[in-house]
Amino acid sequence: MLSQLLALAASLLWGMADYGGGSLTRRLPAPTVVVASQAAAAVLLVVAVLATGGPGAVSADLWYAVAAGVVGPFALLAFYRALALGPMGVVSPLATVGVAVPVGLGLLLGERPGPAQAAGIAVAVLGVALAGGPRRGGGTVGVRVLALTLSAALGMGTVMALIARASDGGGLLLVLCVQRLCNVAVGGAVLLAGRGGRVPGAPGTLRQVLPALTVVGVADVAANGAFAAASHHGSVAVAAVLASLYPVVTALMARGLLKERLRRVQVLGAGLAVAGTLLLAAG
C-alpha cells in the first residue's frame, strides 16, 4: 500500500510541476525556468543532506546520478518549451512515451517484450500520430512541438533509468542532490552560452515568479524521490503505472486554469499515448 501511495504522490507532484513549468515558460525563457527551479531544489537538497549527517559513504553508482544531471536539463528545456508552444493537454501525455527507454534498456539486457508491451508500443505510436496530426479545420500541433516533446520524452526516460540505477546503492537524498547540482551546472552553462554571458529575463519579473519557480523545482525533485522510494518499496511495474498518470493532473489544470480546449482527435491521441504508456509499464 505504501508503494502505491508514493507512486500516486509522484504522479500528482509531476503533474503540478509540468503545469507550473509550462506556464512560467510563457513568461520567461525556458533556460531561466529550468535553472532557477532546479537551483531552488538543489539548495533544499544540500540542506537536507547536511542535516541528515552529510554525504557519508559514496558509491560508484553516484556517477549515474551525474549522468542524469547532465541529460536532465536538456530534457526539461525541450519539455517546458513544448508546453509553452503547444496545448498542455497533448504535450504532457505524449511525453509519457519516455517510459520506452527503461523498457528498451531491459531488452538490451536480455528481456523480451510480452504481448502487453508490444501492444503498448503500437498504441503509443498511434497516439502520437493522432495527437499531433491533421485536425479538421486546418493546422496541426506542429512539427516543432512534436519534435520537442519526443526529445523531452527520450531524455526524461533516460533520467528515470539512470536515477533508478543510481539509487540501487541507497542514499536517495544524496543521489537527488548530486543530480540537481549537475542540472544547475549544465543548465546554467547552456543559459549563459546562449546569451553571451547574460541571464535572460527581466530581474523584476524573475523576482515576482521566484516563489512559483521554487514550487516547480521542489515538486519535481519530490516526485523523483517519491517514485524512487515507491519502486524500492514494491513492484516497479505497479509504481510506474501509477506514476504515469501525471498527465491527467496537467491536463485538468490546463483545462481548469487556462480554459484550454482540445479537439476530439487530440483527446483521442493523447489518451492512446497514455494507454500505450500504461501497457508498456504494466507489461
51-106 confidence digits (pLDDT tens) = 887 777 677 888 999 999 999 999 988 988 888 888 877 787 777 777 777 666 66
Percent of the chain with pLDDT over 70: 76
Grid cell locating 126? 498511434
Angstrom CA distances, 233 to 239, 257, 273, stand at 9, 35, 27
Residue 38 CA from chain centroid, whole number: 13
DSSP string, 19-74: HHHHHHTTTS-HHHHHHHHHHHHHHHHHHHHHHTT-S-SPPTTHHHHHHHHHHHHH
Q: Which domain holds residue 64?
A: 2-282
Distance CA 2, CA 9 (A): 11
In this structure, of 137-141, 151-155, 206-210, 218-222, the range with the lowest mean pLDDT score is 137-141
Residues 6+ apart with CB under 8 A from 10: 223, 224, 226, 227, 230, 239, 242, 243, 246
Number of structural domains, the chain?
1
Under 8 Å between Cβ of 260 and 47: no
Angstrom CA distances, 63 to 51, 121, 165, stand at 23, 30, 10
pLDDT over 60 (residue 232): yes
Distance CA 160, CA 18 (A): 16
pLDDT over 60 (residue 197): no
272-283 confidence digits (pLDDT tens) = 877 877 776 666
- The per-residue pLDDT for 182 is 93
Residue 149 CA from chain centroid, whole number: 11
Under 8 Å between Cβ of 117 and 280: yes
pLDDT, average across residues 36-54: 88
| Prediction pTM value | 0.74
3-state secondary structure of 112: coil
- The per-residue pLDDT for 110 is 66
Q: How confident is the model at residue 117 (pLDDT cuts 50, 70, 90)?
A: low
3-state secondary structure of 81: helix
Q: How confident is the model at residue 139 (pLDDT cuts 50, 70, 90)?
A: very low
